[in-house]
Chains A and B, each alone.
Chain A
Amino acid sequence: MSSSRRARRWGVRTLALGYLALLLLAPVAMIFYRTFEHGLEPVWNAVSAPNAEHAFWLSIEIVAISVPLNTVFGIGMALLLERGRFWGKAVLGLLIDLPFAISPVVVGLALVLVYGKTGWFGNWLAAQGIQVIFSVPGMVIATAVVSLPFVARETVPVLRELGIDAEQAAETLGASPWQTFWRVTLPGIRWAVVYGVVLTTARALGEFGAVSIVSGRIEGQTQTLPLYVQDRFENFDATGAYTAAVVLAVLALATLLAMNLLTRRTRRQTAV
Chain B
Amino acid sequence: MAIEVRNVGKRFGDFVALEDVSITVGDGALTALLGPSGSGKSTLLRVIAGLETPDTGEVVIGEHDVTDAPARTRGVGFVFQHYAPFKHMTVNDNVAFGLSVRKRPKDEIRARVKELLGLVRLDGLAERYPSQLSGGQLQRMALARALAVQPQVLLLDEPFGALDAQVRAELREWLRKLHEEIHVTTIFVTHDQEEAMEVAEQIVVMNTGRIEQAGSPRDLYESPRNEFVMSFIGPVNRLGDTFVRPHDIQILADADGTGTEALVERVVHLGFEVRVELRLHDGRDIWAQVTRESAQQLELKEGQILAVRLPPPRVFAA
* Contact residues in A for B291 (Cβ distance below 8 Å): none
Q: Is the CB of B85 within 8 A of A166?
A: yes
Closest Cβ neighbor of A176 among chain B residues: B72
B88 engages A272 (CB within 8 Å): yes
- The answer to whether A172 and B132 have CB atoms under 8 Å apart is no
**Contact string, B3-38, partner A, CB cutoff 8 A, digits 1/0?**
000000000000000000000000000000000000
Contact B84 A272 (CB under 8 A): no
Closest residue of A by beta carbon distance from B157: A165
Q: A172-B71, A172-B72, A176-B72 are in contact. Are A270 and B88 (CB under 8 A)?
A: yes
Q: Are B84 and A165 in contact (CB under 8 A)?
A: yes
How far, in Å, is A36 (CB) from chain B's closest CB? 44
Q: A174-B98, A270-B129 are in contact. List 7 more A-B contacts (CB 8 A).
A: A169-B142, A170-B101, A172-B77, A173-B97, A173-B98, A173-B146, A175-B98
In-complex Cβ contact of B84 among A168, A174, A270 (8 A): A168
Binding site for B on A (CB under 8 A): 165-166, 168-176, 179, 183-184, 187-188, 270-272
Known A165-B82, A188-B88: A175·B101 in contact at CB below 8 Å: yes
Residues of B within 8 A of A172 (CB): 49-51, 71-72, 74, 76-78, 146
Task: Kindly state the separation between the CA atoms of A185 and B111 in the bound complex, as whole angstroms.
Answer: 27
Q: Which of B29-65 contact A (CB under 8 A)?
A: 49-51
Nearest Cβ on chain B to A183's Cβ, whole angstroms: 7
Q: Could you say which residues of chain B place their CB within 8 Å of the CB of A270?
A: 88, 129
Which single member of B77, B87, B97, B132 contacts A175 (CB below 8 Å)? Answer: B97
Interface positions of B (Cβ within 8 A of A)? 49-51, 70-74, 76-78, 80, 82, 84-89, 97-98, 101-102, 129, 131-132, 142, 145-146, 148-149
Report 29 cross-chain contacts, Cβ distance below 8 Å, ordered by A residue: A166-B84, A166-B86, A168-B80, A168-B84, A169-B142, A169-B145, A170-B86, A170-B101, A171-B51, A171-B71, A172-B51, A172-B77, A172-B78, A172-B146, A173-B72, A173-B101, A173-B145, A173-B146, A173-B148, A174-B73, A175-B97, A175-B101, A176-B101, A179-B101, A183-B86, A183-B97, A188-B87, A188-B88, A272-B87
Give the residue name and chain of the A residue nearest to B73 (CB).
A174
User: Which residues of chain B come closer than 8 Å to A171, judged between CB atoms?
Assistant: 51, 70-72
B99 vs chain A, min Cβ distance (A): 9
A271 and B132 form a contact (CB under 8 A): yes
Contacts of A271 in B (CB 8 A): 129, 131-132
Cα A271 to Cα B128 with chains together (Å): 9
A contact residues around B101 at 8 Å (CB): 170, 173-176, 179, 183
User: What is the minimal beta-carbon distance from A256 to any residue of chain B, in angstroms?
Assistant: 24
Docked Cα-Cα span, A183 to B102, in Å, equals 13
Which residue among B73, B101, B145 has the maximum number of chain A CB atoms within 10 Å of its CB?
B101
How distant is B208 from chain A, measured CB to nearest CB, in Å? 25
Tell me which of A168, A172, A187 has the highest count of chain B C-beta atoms within 10 A of its own C-beta. Answer: A172
Report how far A271 CA is from B90 CA in the complex, Å: 10
- Cβ-closest chain B residue relative to A187: B88
Q: How far is the CB of B143 from chain A (nearest CB, A)?
A: 12
- Chain A's closest residue to B78 (CB) is A172
Most B CB contacts (10 A, CB to CB) among A174, A175, A176, A270 go to A174
Q: Are B70 and A169 in contact (CB under 8 A)?
A: no
CB distance from B43 to the nearest CB of A (A): 14
Chain B nearest CB from A115 CB (Å) reads 42
Query: Is A170's CB under 8 angstroms from B76's CB?
Result: no
> In the complex, what residues of B have CB within 8 A of residue A175's CB?
72, 97-98, 101
User: Chain A residues near B51 (CB, 8 Å)?
Assistant: 168, 171-172
Contact (Cβ within 8 A) A174 B70: no
Contacting pair A165 B88 (CB below 8 A): no
How far apart sit A170 and B93, CA to CA, in the bound complex (Å)? 12
